[in-house]
Amino acid sequence: MVTKSIRDLLRAVVDPEIPALTIEDLGILRGIEETPDGVVVSITPTYSGCPAMDTIVEGIVAVLGLAGHRAEVRSVLAPPWTPLFITEEGRRKLAAASIAPPGGQPRCPRCADPNPRLVSEFGSTACKALMVCTSCGEPFDRFKDLP
């Protein structure tokens, strides 16, 4: 099926700020629709001001363009993205990249200690908070939980 192959192609598009995750892992890929004029890909931003969106749009157009598809990218806002949209695969990849996934009790990615301390609710990117392990002292990013 063509849709599947486009979905496969889009696995090459990653979040430039968290390159471990594809846009599908991150849960921001909302739809793929084929029209006579090309492919319409719908994505949603994680945060309103996410500065990675432009790069992601360019990535989608470039990846599909190389495979001979004319792509148009649309931004959709509803329903709003929450960390719950991150896929299981995405959560595994986050943990492997030493970023504590959202939801539940965060653990130190280095020593798995379950009692890290929140240093700042705002971290290195719009979607992450900064924590530090109270056991081994490792500072690490945690994907924000949105209230």
* Pair 132, 123: CB distance under 8 Å: no
Residue 114 C-beta: closest distance to another protein, Å: 22
Residue 143 C-beta: closest distance to another protein, Å: 13
Binding to another protein in span 107-146, by CB under 8 A: 119-124, 126, 130, 144, 146
User: Which span sits near another protein by CB under 8 A: 4-12, 16-24, 32-40, 43-51?
Assistant: 43-51
58 binds another protein (CB under 8 A): no
Residues near 79 by Cβ (< 8 Å), separated by ≥ 6? none
Of residues 19 and 79, the one with the C-beta less far from another protein: 79
Of residues 49 and 68, the one with the C-beta less far from another protein: 49
- HEC per residue, the chain: CHHHHHHHHHCCCEECCEEEEEHHHHCCEEEEEEECCEEEEEECCCCCCCCCHHHHHHHHHHHHHHCCCCEEEEECCCCCCCHHHCCHHHHHHHHHCCEECCCCCCCCCCCCCCCCEEEECCCCCCCEEEEECCCCCCEEEEECCCC
From the list 37, 48, 104, 117, which residue makes contact with another protein (rule: CB under 8 A)? 48
Residue 89 C-beta: closest distance to another protein, Å: 24
From the list 19, 36, 49, 104, which residue makes contact with another protein (rule: CB under 8 A)? 49
User: Which span sits near another protein by CB under 8 A: 23-31, 58-66, 78-86, 94-102?
Assistant: 78-86
